Structure 1
Amino acid sequence: MSDYVGTTRATYDAIAAQYAHRWSAPSAWVNAELNRLVAALPSDARVADIGCGPGHHTLLLRNCGFRVVGFDLSRQMLTCGGVPGLVQTDMRALPLPAQVMDAVWCVAAMLHIPRPEVPDVLAEFSRVLRPGGLLSLSVVEGDGEGWEPVSYAQTYRRWYVFHRIEPLIQQLTLAGFDVLSYSRRSTHRNWLHLSAQRG
Structure 2
Amino acid sequence: MSADRETLEVYNARAGDYAQTMGRDPAAMASLRAFVARLPKGGRVLDLGCGPGSWARAMLEMGFEVEATDASDAMVAEASKVEGLAVRKAVFEDIDDVARFDGIWANFSLLHAPRAAMPDHLARLYRALKPGGVLHVGLKEGTGERRDRLGRFYTYYTVAELTGLLADLDMVTDDLREGADKGLDGEVAGWFTLTARKIVPDTEARTDTA
SS at match of 1:139: strand
8 A Cα contact 2:141 2:157, kept in partner: yes
Match of 1:153 in 2: none
SS at match of 1:8: helix
Aligned mate of 1:49, from 47, 50, 56 = 47
- Pair 1:93-2:91 in alignment: no
Q: TM-score, normalised by structure 1?
A: 0.89
1:133 Cα deviation (Å)?
Answer: 0.3
Amino acid at match of 2:75: M
Alignment match of 2:27 (pick from 26, 29, 44): 29
Write the letter of the residue equivalent to 2:148. Answer: E
Aligned partner letter, 1:19: Y
Give the fraction of aligned pairs with identical amino acids, expressed as a percent. Answer: 29
CA–CA distance in 1 between the matches of 2:177 and 2:189?
A: 14
Secondary structure at the aligned position of 2:157 is classed as coil
Gaps (5+ residues) in structure 2?
182-187, 200-210
Contact persistence 2:35–2:195 (CA under 8 A): no
Q: Distance in 2 between matches of 1:176 and 1:74?
A: 32
- Show the 5 A alignment for 1:2-41: 5-23=4-22, 25-41=23-39
Query: Partners in 2 of 1:159 and 1:49 — Cα distance?
Result: 20
Aligned-pair distance for 1:191?
0.7
- Equivalenced residue count is 189
Distance 1:57 1:181 in 2: 18
8 Å CA contact 2:53, 2:78 repeated in 1:
no
Residue from 170, 175, 178 that aligns with 2:172: 178
Q: What is the TM-score when the length of structure 2 is the normalising length?
A: 0.84
Displacement of 1:30 after TM fit? 2.5
Q: Give the Cα separation in 1 of the matches to 2:143 and 2:32.
A: 28
Whether the 8 Å CA contact 2:142–2:158 is kept in 1: the answer is: yes
Partner-residue secondary structure (3-state), 1:163: coil
Q: Which runs of 5+ in 1 are unaligned?
A: 151-156
Residues 38 and 107 from structure 1, CA distance in 2 versus in 1: closer, same or farther, beyond 3 angstroms?
Answer: closer
Q: CA offset at residue 6 of structure 1? A: 2.2
Which ranges of 4 or more aligned residues in structure 1 deviate by more than 3 Å?
none
Match of 1:59 among 53, 57, 61: 57
How far apart in 2 are the matches of 1:166 and 1:103?
Answer: 22
CA distance in 2, matches of 1:50, 1:39: 19
Instruction: Please give the alpha-carbon distance, in whole angstroms, between the structure 1 residues aligned to 2:194 and 2:36.
Output: 16
Deviation, 1:162, is 0.4
- 2:77 is aligned to 79
Q: Aligned-pair RMSD on alpha carbons?
A: 1.6
Question: 2:202 — aligned with what?
Answer: none
Structure 1 residue 41 displacement after superposition: 1.7
* Range with bigger deviation, 11-20 or 54-63: 11-20
Kept after mapping to 1: 8 A contact 2:40/2:102 = no
Q: Distance in 1 between matches of 2:32 and 2:108?
A: 15
Contact 1:143 1:163 in 2 (8 A): yes
Aligned position for 1:167: 161
User: Partners in 1 of 2:148 and 2:33 — Cα distance?
Assistant: 33
- Structure 1 residue 50: deviation in Å? 0.3
* Contact map agreement 1:49 1:104 (CA 8 A) in 2: yes
8 Å contact from structure 1 (residues 147, 158) kept in 2:
yes
